Amino acid sequence: MKVGFDNDKYVKIQSKKIKERVKLFDKLYLEVGGKLFSDTHASRVLPGFKPDAKLLVLEQFKKDMEIIFCINASDIAKNKTRSEYGITYDMEMLNLINYSREKGFFVNSVVITLYNNQNEVDKFIKKLERHNIKTYIHTPTKGYPTDIDTIVSDDGYGANPFIETTKKLVLINAPGSSSGKLATCLSQLYHEHKRAVNAGYAKYETFPVWNLPLKHPLNLAYEAATADRKDVNMIDSFHLEKYGVHAVNYNRDIETFPILKNILNKISKEEIYYSPTDMGVNTIADAIKDNKIVEEASKKEIVRRYYQEEANYKLGNTEADSVQRIKLLLTELSIDENYLKVVNPAIKKSKKCEKHAMALELPNGKIVTGRETELLSSASSLIINAMKVLTKIPDEIDLLSPSVLEPIMKLRKSKHPLSLQEVLVALSICSVTNPIIEKALQKIDKLDGCDVHSTYIVQNGDLKSLKSLGVYLTSQSVFYSNELF
């Protein structure tokens, strides 16, 4: 992989900037934008960015930091799902807590925001409490967003319970957007200042990158990633007016800044921030070492987001305007959906054999294809073919032993071809007695970060298995079959 981003430099300078912000207050509430761990979007658009780069930054504050997680009550009630993982927000919340504890971070509590007596939420609260996780309930803030006097009063933020914290740095994170992170920070600031604690607020930002051009592919990739939320990058007019400097932010932060500024000023009795960009701590641009590599990676990501939204629309998970928004971004960059090298080979293979097919681009640029057969799914064929190429095994050699396949075929009730997971299990068994297969399986890690394109929407088992290999999967917006499911 060509590296365009210096992760070590980023960790160093981002940590330094956060330390500078912490020193301004007795206590800092730091809202983390995006994913706290496993930021795969950032690693795709910034080759060299480690998915857990934020973790490396925050580890330097571990002794003086605690975490509060927020989750919107309606997301629990609606079983809202993270599409990239296929799990609900409440389950992602539990994963975040487990991972944080595993890494040695102190998790203070969970805040259920916008609570409205939902039964499903009450069950989730009981689950947390039975695991000895402190839980707080926040209801909608009275007077929000226009009545500042009511918002910043005992009837507004004061109506929320105060969360006792002991560390100088309090991190606020959530399993997804619109989870109430900002409201939780402001509520805490209100309570802290009533207690004569000089508490402040800041935001750990990654995207958009404020000191890159508005139409830089990296910033446009952020727009593509948030197309379903209708986020749009804009020039921060407040920053431009105050400092005469062009800074990029997104519409929601810019639109709500006058309200937020008034609230912060009323709580702290002084003016601290003059623009939404002022609030953020974002040093991404300073660690970009090869802009061309980053631009290319960002363009590819926008194409991936286009295919993802097309599939989501086909599945009924999004609206048509999300697809059109990303299509406009492609047009703006003078590229199209065929920009990924794997798209046309997959389509060509499928037309030739009149079966579902996939194509994969290996790290050296070579394209490998796989088609569905009576025995194997297209994903299974693809990965077997890729392992053969990586290990230089002749195509005519069969890696799957009939003696291993026979009991598998007898036990399974499905008439569908063998899934990728079943094939990988079979290969693992065969590798015990066959060193060639053992060598082939050792090469499978090289598929991490490779582009794969499918001629149909991959779901269920094969989808999970491909994601576990770390490939970047895209697909035509075509169902596997005409059967309703």
CB atoms within 10 A of CB 282: 21
217 within a domain of the structure (yes/no):
yes
Element of type H or E holding 190: helix 181-194
Q: What is the pLDDT of residue 398?
A: 87
309 within a domain of the structure (yes/no):
no
- Output the six-digit token pair for 102: 């595993």
The tens digit of pLDDT for each residue in 407-461 reads 777 777 677 889 999 999 999 998 998 999 999 999 999 999 999 999 999 988 8
Alpha carbon distances (Å) from 302 to 56, 295, 297: 27, 11, 9
Give the angle 349-350-353 at the CA atoms, nearest 5°.
85
Q: What is the pLDDT of residue 482?
A: 72
Closest CA to 206 of 64, 46, 84, 351: 46
- CA–CA gap between residue 167 and residue 25 (Å, rounded): 12
168 within a domain of the structure (yes/no):
yes
- The reply to whether 106 and 204 lie within a common domain is yes
Q: What is the CATH number of the domain that holds 349?
A: 3.40.140.40
- The reply to whether 283 and 344 lie within a common domain is no
426 within a domain of the structure (yes/no):
yes
- The reply to whether 260 and 126 lie within a common domain is yes
Query: Which residue range is the domain that position 177 belongs to?
Result: 7-287
- Contact yes or no for 47/66 (Cβ under 8 A): no
Q: What is the pLDDT of residue 447?
A: 97
- The reply to whether 219 and 356 lie within a common domain is no
Kindly tell me if the per-residue pLDDT of 74 is higher than 60: yes
Our count of domains for the chain comes to 2
Q: Which residue has the tokens 């997680």?
A: 69
Rg (CA), the chain: 25
- The reply to whether 115 and 200 lie within a common domain is yes
- The reply to whether 146 and 264 lie within a common domain is yes
202 within a domain of the structure (yes/no):
yes
Query: Which residue, 260, 287, 314, sits at the end of a domain?
Result: 287
Q: What is the CATH number of the domain that holds 192?
A: 3.10.630.10
User: What's the order of all strands across the beta sheet hosting 135-137?
Assistant: 135-137, 106-113, 65-72, 169-173, 27-32, 199-204, 280-281
| Length reported for the chain | 485
The tens digit of pLDDT for each residue in 4-41 reads 999 999 999 999 999 999 999 999 999 998 889 889 99
Query: Which residue, 272, 287, 302, sits at the end of a domain?
Result: 287
- CA–CA gap between residue 190 and residue 186 (Å, rounded): 6
pTM of the model: 0.94
Looking at this protein, which amino acid is placed at residue 127? K
- Contact yes or no for 474/453 (Cβ under 8 A): yes
Residue 152 DSSP one-character state: T
- The reply to whether 236 and 347 lie within a common domain is no
159 φ, ψ (degrees, to nearest 5):
-75, -20
- Contact yes or no for 437/399 (Cβ under 8 A): yes
305 within a domain of the structure (yes/no):
no
292 within a domain of the structure (yes/no):
no
- The reply to whether 267 and 398 lie within a common domain is no
- CA–CA gap between residue 71 and residue 98 (Å, rounded): 16
